[in-house]
């Protein structure tokens, strides 16, 4: 897959490392240029990017939440083309299972946030793609919004099954390369890893590029083939995947398998700092030409990048960091700490080819920061020409499900939601009645004004809830569940078939997500749904609760819902599944139809 260490072909003249990749089959009748410098840089068409909506700065921010967020322009005002929206819809639909299943390390969303939009995407026709994004998403600026985009592609190089003088071996993963997950040794190192090799009783750094090119891997790694041009192979490692065409016409599709663990150094930055590149050599093609014109000095510069990529033979279409096929002109690589993988992103750049709606389906080792992107252009000479000269600046707007900003801001209930809570309050009998407290009456607060630019999803409000006594889901445990269920719950051996996270939502969005989630579980034939609600309100809390509002209402929502006949019982979750902050929804076993 194109799990790239991050490509920035031109970038800040720092050709970044790509890690991984599966190359697609060659186009019928396509020819392979033997020398990459022959592909010209495509002439760009300038454009005027949209300005950022606010000046938000948070130097050193580690995630999108700490970088600061600002509400972007209304999506209908963004210049999203009909074709661009249709292509982005297809990519977003493909990414939906990952969006719902994966943990969002940016801290912006949970899987449940994406469920309504993903459900709508499944039935949206390509011709209505523009309307789909306008109805289900809001634009958000992360940090200062100032975006920088480079490009990557799938290179095609000439190869050989046998070695000749000057050829470069294409190595598979060495047998003695060791991966170490440092998080297994210390909680403070979770998410960090290193690679190396064992020397006696010590783990030491693996061989660097110079040592590997001088033969250090002989007998340690299988050779998949040989690259005719070492410069071409260097940039194929930067891309992380590619096609290697053999003299007899066969094509090897190679993709990233591992890397030697050494830090990546962008040679473009080194060459620029040393004054080696002229005004017309600031593209990838110009750099390649210089390296070929100065072979000895070029080899030494390439060896200053100690990183070395190992490959494997692969079939199938190119895939990104989500393990899903990527699409040229639609897929963009981003930093998942700031952009949820699978989320749409609108880039308004200073050149037309980079401007448009993209979907974040890939990552890159050099693609770091709130508004750093790497646009994917596919394979072939056109893709090479665009990616090789891609260096665009402008503004980025992340598209998130409507209501996300309000939820993250922790806003107060609006008048409609407050009215809903009043109905819920009237329908619920307190578990622990207390003597009424005498409090001084305060003048009524004015109805809060709607937030600027707030847009609402057309979702029916939760229904008025009848008395809990009249609609109890389980008259008694024995009436719906046998004793083995309660024993399993007590022991923590119940394994939910699915999880629905309502925590952090407001009442309207939580009710809508609950209804959709129950419908999906029933359709799949799930037996147990883990419903994450957050902890219940404190016993002394007055409604509307400052904490536990959703937990207090969810049982009544379910009792009055259209799904109640399918539900056998609700039970508090075992501590391993969230304890007081979650509920098991146990469905009735569906009876086979005869």
Instruction: Give residues with Cβ within 8 angstroms of 312, minimum separation 6.
Output: 172, 173, 224, 254, 255, 256, 257
pLDDT bin (cut points 50, 70, 90) of residue 537 is low
- Given a cut of 80, whether residue 594 has pLDDT beyond it is no
pLDDT bin (cut points 50, 70, 90) of residue 9 is very low
Mean pLDDT of 264-277: 91
Instruction: Give residues with Cβ within 8 angstroms of 202, minimum separation 6.
Output: none
CA distance 258 to 17: 12
- Given a cut of 60, whether residue 592 has pLDDT beyond it is no
Other CB atoms within 10 A of residue 163 CB? 12
Task: Give the pLDDT confidence score for residue 173 in this predicted structure.
Answer: 97
Task: Give the pLDDT confidence score for residue 475 in this predicted structure.
Answer: 34
10 Å CB burial of residue 359 (0-12, 13-18, 19+) is buried
Closest CA to 88 of 387, 386, 321, 342: 342
- Given a cut of 70, whether residue 444 has pLDDT beyond it is no
> Which one is predicted more confidently, 224 or 470?
224
pLDDT bin (cut points 50, 70, 90) of residue 32 is very low
Task: Give the pLDDT confidence score for residue 428 in this predicted structure.
Answer: 56
Mean pLDDT of 232-251: 91
Task: Give the pLDDT confidence score for residue 506 in this predicted structure.
Answer: 77
- Percent of the chain residues past pLDDT 70, beyond the cut: 78
* 463-587 CATH: 3.30.1370.110
What is the residue extent of each domain of the chain? 50-151+316-377+391-405, 174-218, 463-587
Highest mean pLDDT among 53-57, 428-432, 534-538: 53-57
CA distance 379 to 22: 11
Task: Give the pLDDT confidence score for residue 504 in this predicted structure.
Answer: 67
Yes or no: say if 157 and 168 are a contact pair by the CB < 8 Å rule: no
Task: Give the pLDDT confidence score for residue 589 in this predicted structure.
Answer: 81
Task: Give the pLDDT confidence score for residue 419 in this predicted structure.
Answer: 62
- Given a cut of 80, whether residue 418 has pLDDT beyond it is no
- Given a cut of 50, whether residue 279 has pLDDT beyond it is yes
Instruction: Give residues with Cβ within 8 angstroms of 17, minimum separation 6.
Output: 4, 5, 6, 7, 237, 238, 240, 259, 264, 305, 307, 309, 364, 365, 366
- Given a cut of 50, whether residue 524 has pLDDT beyond it is yes
pLDDT bin (cut points 50, 70, 90) of residue 519 is confident
Instruction: Give the model confidence (pLDDT) of 125-149 as tens digits.
Output: 999 999 999 999 999 999 999 999 9
- Given a cut of 50, whether residue 363 has pLDDT beyond it is yes
- Percent of the chain residues past pLDDT 90, beyond the cut: 50
Phi, psi of 216 (to 5 degrees): -65, -20
Structure tokens belonging to residue 79? 């210049």
Task: Give the pLDDT confidence score for residue 25 in this predicted structure.
Answer: 29
* 50-151+316-377+391-405 CATH: 2.40.40.10
Closest CA to 147 of 351, 316, 326, 312: 351
- Given a cut of 90, whether residue 502 has pLDDT beyond it is no
Yes or no: say if 360 and 339 are a contact pair by the CB < 8 Å rule: yes
> Please, what is the average pLDDT of the chain?
81
Mean pLDDT of 418-433: 56
Range in 19-28, 101-110, 155-164, 233-242 with the lowest mean pLDDT: 19-28
Range in 82-86, 254-258, 359-363 with the lowest mean pLDDT: 254-258
Task: Give the pLDDT confidence score for residue 274 in this predicted structure.
Answer: 93
Task: Give the pLDDT confidence score for residue 416 in this predicted structure.
Answer: 58
Alpha helical stretches, state H, 60-215 = 64-67, 82-101, 111-122, 129-136, 209-213
- Given a cut of 70, whether residue 319 has pLDDT beyond it is yes
Mean pLDDT of 209-222: 96
Task: Give the pLDDT confidence score for residue 517 in this predicted structure.
Answer: 84
Instruction: Give the model confidence (pLDDT) of 469-501 as tens digits.
Output: 333 333 333 345 777 787 888 877 888 888 888
Task: Give the pLDDT confidence score for residue 293 in this predicted structure.
Answer: 94
CA distances from 486 to 8, 564, 583, 586 (A): 56, 20, 13, 11
- Given a cut of 90, whether residue 413 has pLDDT beyond it is no
Yes or no: say if 320 and 333 are a contact pair by the CB < 8 Å rule: yes
Task: Give the pLDDT confidence score for residue 72 in this predicted structure.
Answer: 95
> Which one is predicted more confidently, 494 or 504?
494
Highest mean pLDDT among 164-178, 413-427, 531-545: 164-178
- Given a cut of 70, whether residue 430 has pLDDT beyond it is no
Mean pLDDT of 250-262: 92
| Beta-strand relationship, 567-572 and 156-160 | unpaired
The overall pTM is greater than 0.85: no
CA distance 170 to 175: 15
Instruction: Give the model confidence (pLDDT) of 60-114 as tens digits.
Output: 788 998 899 999 999 999 999 999 999 999 999 999 999 999 999 999 999 999 9
């Amino acid at each position: 897959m194109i799990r790239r260490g991050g490509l920035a072909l031109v970038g800040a003249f720092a050709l970044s490392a790509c890690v991984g990749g599966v190359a697609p089959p060659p186009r019928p009748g396509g020819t392979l240029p033997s020398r990459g410098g022959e592909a010209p840089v495509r002439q760009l068409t300038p454009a005027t990017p949209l300005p950022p909506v606010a000046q938000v700065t948070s130097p050193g921010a580690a995630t999108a939440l700490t970088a600061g967020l600002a509400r972007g322009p209304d999506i209908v005002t963004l210049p999203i083309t009909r074709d661009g929206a249709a292509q982005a819809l297809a990519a977003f639909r493909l990414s939906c299972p990952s969006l719902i299943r994966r943990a969002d390390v940016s801290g912006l969303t949970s899987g449940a946030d994406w469920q309504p939009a993903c459900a709508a995407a499944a039935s949206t026709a390509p011709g209505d793609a523009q309307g789909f994004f306008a109805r289900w998403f809001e634009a958000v600026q992360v940090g200062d919004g100032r975006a920088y985009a480079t490009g990557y592609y799938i290179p095609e190089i000439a190869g050989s099954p046998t070695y000749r003088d000057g050829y470069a071996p294409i190595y598979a993963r060495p047998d003695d390369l060791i991966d170490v997950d440092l998080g297994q040794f210390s909680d403070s190192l979770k998410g960090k890893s290193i690679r190396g090799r064992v020397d006696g009783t010590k783990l030491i750094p693996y061989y660097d590029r110079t040592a590997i090119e001088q033969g250090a891997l002989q007998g340690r790694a299988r050779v998949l083939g040989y690259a005719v041009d070492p410069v071409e192979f260097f940039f194929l490692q930067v891309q992380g995947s590619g096609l290697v065409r053999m003299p007899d016409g066969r094509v090897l599709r190679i993709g990233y398998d591992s890397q030697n663990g050494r830090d990546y150094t962008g040679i473009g930055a080194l060459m620029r700092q040393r004054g080696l590149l002229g005004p017309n050599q600031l593209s990838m093609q110009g750099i390649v030409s210089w390296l070929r014109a100065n072979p000895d000095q070029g080899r030494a510069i390439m060896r200053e990048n100690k990183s070395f990529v190992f490959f494997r033979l692969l079939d199938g279409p190119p895939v990104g960091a989500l393990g899903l096929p990527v699409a040229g002109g639609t897929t963009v690589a981003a930093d998942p700490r700031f952009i949820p993988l699978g989320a749409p992103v609108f880039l308004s750049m200073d050149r037309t080819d980079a401007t448009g709606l993209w979907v974040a389906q890939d990552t890159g080792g050099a693609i770091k920061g709130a508004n750093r992107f790497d646009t994917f252009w596919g394979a072939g000479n056109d893709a090479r020409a665009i990616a090789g000269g891609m260096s665009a600046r402008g503004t980025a707007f992340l598209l998130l499900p409507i209501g996300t900003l309000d939820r993250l801001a922790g806003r107060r209930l609006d008048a409609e939601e407050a009215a809903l809570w009043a109905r819920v309050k009237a329908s619920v009998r307190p578990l622990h009645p207390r003597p009424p407290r005498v409090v001084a009456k305060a003048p009524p607060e004015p109805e809060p004004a709607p937030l600027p630019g707030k847009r609402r999803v057309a979702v029916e409000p939760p229904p008025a809830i009848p008395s809990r006594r009249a609609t109890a889901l389980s008259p008694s445990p024995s009436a719906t569940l046998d004793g083995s269920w309660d024993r399993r719950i007590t022991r923590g051996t119940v394994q939910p078939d699915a999880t629905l996270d309502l925590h952090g939502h407001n009442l309207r969005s939580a009710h809508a997500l609950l209804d959709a989630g129950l419908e999906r579980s029933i359709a799949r034939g799930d037996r147990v749904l883990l419903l994450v609600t957050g902890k219940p309100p404190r016993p002394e809390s007055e409604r509307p609760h400052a904490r536990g509002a959703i937990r207090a209402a969810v049982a009544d929502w379910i009792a009055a819902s259209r799904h109640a006949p399918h539900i056998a019982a609700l039970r508090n979750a075992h501590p391993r599944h969230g304890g007081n902050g979650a509920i098991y929804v146990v469905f009735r076993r569906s009876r086979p139809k005869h």
